[in-house]
Amino acid sequence: MNLKEARILFSTLISEHICAINRESVLGLRVKVAKGEGMDRKTEQDPTTDHMRNSLHESGLAQDLDMYINGEWQTRTEAHAASGALWESRHPLCRWGGHFGDGNHYSIEWQGRK
């Protein structure tokens, strides 16, 4: 698989994941997720962005999702556990950041990176 094909796969899978949670309520009616755009999460490694250089985010193969339960933004990794398990069941390459303390990180493995 080349990078273009991986990006298409990731875009399709993350879209399906968000729709399943938001529209189909697979995690319950009071759980919603959104693309994580609103937070200012600049890092020491790169103060111009919220992710490290050469990350899967920059490659278009990762997304941070913000989870809301009963309308409240969930900042703890544990809140994403059911969503993360569902994400990893979607495809053999799907990886969830909860395994390394970044619960809102959803990606596909690319060249050994998660």
Tens of pLDDT along 79-95?
Answer: 999 999 999 999 999 99
Answer yes or no: is 44 within a domain: no
Answer yes or no: is 48 within a domain: no
Answer yes or no: is 70 within a domain: yes
- How many domains is the chain partitioned into structurally? 1
Answer yes or no: is 73 within a domain: yes
CA–CA distance, 80 with 84 (Å, rounded to integer): 6
Answer yes or no: is 114 within a domain: no
Q: What amino acid occupies position 13?
A: L
**Each residue's pLDDT tens digit, 17-50:** 999 999 989 998 888 888 765 455 555 554 555 5
Answer yes or no: is 41 within a domain: no
CA–CA distance, 22 with 108 (Å, rounded to integer): 21
**pTM of the complete model:** 0.83
**Each residue's pLDDT tens digit, 44-66:** 554 555 556 667 888 889 999 99
